[in-house]
A and B are shown apart, each in its own frame.
Chain A
């Protein structure tokens, strides 16, 4: 049962404790969600001025960069829906090549996905050198120094989409030339992530689910069901039914992978000239779990599209079987269609939670620096609900 909206707007300690007890999940996720609720009754988010950002950044870097340095060319970045982002140039003797461009990612008061910067830092550095990512240099987990929890990474060149003419559409596909160049690279990076040996990296912010158990599936379910309870303004019976089904049908994980959870077109940069992928971005939702969660996310109908010959392309990049065959070949790991089905339902359900629950909640409290963009993304909830309805109906009729 969904708690009344007044209780959610000004959460009591008792209510927070009850959620933590009902939905045990990864320790650092629990910590992050708890802090979100403790801050909720606070005022609307007001971004820091650029002058304040620069002042705090200088003080932060002075404690970490050797010798004199300068911070210049600070620019707010567009793109992304959850974090405030600035690019800046850091110059000085203690900087590689004397000068480099960096990105400062800061968490607003609340966000369409509430995440832990330490996890993002560790995930990026776990894959660095194996998958193209901007190296993560420093983080401020509580915002004690930078005013907001924040992460500093390299700035990577590249684009998410080539220049287009005419009106913008979120369904804008890539031209064939780029699809042919990008799809094999993208799949190779996807496969590398699935088989990556994360055990050699510092993953202290991550809980490690036991393989061959349903721990990973349950930790993810509890994470997002808790968020639904925390944020949804109204109940939605189809979501209740889906949560019930997901809990009863959670599959065991055969191999524990680092799961990105947002691995798709739009979250990688590529060089416009060569078509080379320069960076996979947005590691904030990473966790240790089942690769099928990542695969199913990429297969979500929200990201698919038709090519020039009306062939349906998953993720807007390639045909489904071609993608899955290549992925299996490169990763050496099998794809289990039943698990894929399960995680298709899970991801549609989670997508609704991110948008219809958290996105709307952020807007109601004016908790981000871009409520207007968050609001636009909430319009995807109807598509995820439609997928949820169709996939659940099919699974239940198959079972009958």
Chain B
């Protein structure tokens, strides 16, 4: 996924601060005010955008603990509401007890794996075994297809696709069922 979201946001911020805002007439008070707020929001998003998932999980973990503590002191432990809450806590366990990598860790791991794959592809292509060349070619195509579908879906709204309606949505492509192939 290149350029990544942080790089895109930084380009937007730079454009706003260095080109657009200076070009707005100073007596256009409403436009100047809102443009500066947009810039400030983008600056915040640069810091926050890849932490949203972790933020939600931290919040969910705290609320789960809160609910657990409340259930401990419940005056009506057999009530339907308490039973419902206990079921909810059980349902949450698999998602909340899995340690998620930080976005930077994930990106670095991905680069390392891509580099290792590319080295293998290059080595096999440079070799003299035609069967190995055929096999690496087959595998490169095989894994390029889903990768490209994701990449095209990621930027389909930019308007460069001739028939964007034929590209599956990101939601469809990234649903747990589809990406746990």
Interface residues of A (CB under 8 A from B): 1-2, 5, 169-171, 233-238, 240-241, 244, 301-302, 304-306, 356, 359-360, 363-364, 366, 369-372, 374-376, 378-383, 385-386, 389, 392-393, 396
Tell whether A235 pairs with B3 under 8 Å between CB atoms, given A382-B154, A389-B145.
no
Establish whether residues A375 and B11, one from each chain, have CB atoms under 8 Å apart when the complex forms.
yes
Q: Which residues does chain A contribute within 8 Å of B19, judged by CB atoms?
A: 369-370
Complex CA gap A1/B125 in Å reads 12
Q: Which residues does chain A contribute within 8 Å of B122, judged by CB atoms?
A: 1, 240, 244
User: Separation in Å of the B65 CB from the closest CB of chain A?
Assistant: 39
Whether a CB of chain A sits under 8 angstroms from the CB of B2 is: yes
Whether a CB of chain A sits under 8 angstroms from the CB of B93 is: no
Complex CA gap A396/B151 in Å reads 24
Whether a CB of chain A sits under 8 angstroms from the CB of B68 is: no
Chain A interface SS verdict (over half)? helix
Number of interface residues of B (CB under 8 A): 38
Establish whether residues B160 and A237, one from each chain, have CB atoms under 8 Å apart when the complex forms.
no
Tell whether A364 pairs with B14 under 8 Å between CB atoms, given A235-B115, A237-B140, A379-B160.
no
Complex CA gap A302/B8 in Å reads 22
The 6 closest A-B pairs by CB, nearest first: A235-B118, A379-B155, A371-B11, A372-B15, A379-B158, A382-B151
**How many A-B Cβ pairs are below 8 Å?**
115
Complex CA gap A237/B136 in Å reads 10
User: Separation in Å of the A82 CB from the closest CB of chain B?
Assistant: 16
Tell whether A170 pairs with B159 under 8 Å between CB atoms, given A244-B125, A360-B3.
yes
Tell whether A375 pairs with B8 under 8 Å between CB atoms, given A240-B118, A360-B2.
yes
Q: Which residues does chain A contribute within 8 Å of B137, judged by CB atoms?
A: 241, 396
Complex CA gap A378/B152 in Å reads 12
Establish whether residues A385 and B151, one from each chain, have CB atoms under 8 Å apart when the complex forms.
yes
Establish whether residues A389 and B144, one from each chain, have CB atoms under 8 Å apart when the complex forms.
yes
Whether a CB of chain A sits under 8 angstroms from the CB of B83 is: no
Complex CA gap A389/B2 in Å reads 18
Complex CA gap A372/B3 in Å reads 11
Write 14 A-B pairs (CB below 8 A) sorted by A numbering.
A1-B118, A171-B162, A234-B110, A235-B118, A237-B121, A241-B121, A241-B136, A241-B140, A360-B2, A363-B11, A366-B10, A366-B14, A370-B19, A383-B160
Q: Which residues does chain B contribute within 8 Å of A369, judged by CB atoms?
A: 19
Establish whether residues A237 and B8, one from each chain, have CB atoms under 8 Å apart when the complex forms.
no
User: Separation in Å of the A294 CB from the closest CB of chain B?
Assistant: 21
Complex CA gap A245/B119 in Å reads 16
Establish whether residues B11 and A234, one from each chain, have CB atoms under 8 Å apart when the complex forms.
no
Q: Which residues does chain B contribute within 8 Å of A356, judged by CB atoms?
A: 2
Establish whether residues A237 and B162, one from each chain, have CB atoms under 8 Å apart when the complex forms.
no
Establish whether residues B152 and A383, one from each chain, have CB atoms under 8 Å apart when the complex forms.
yes
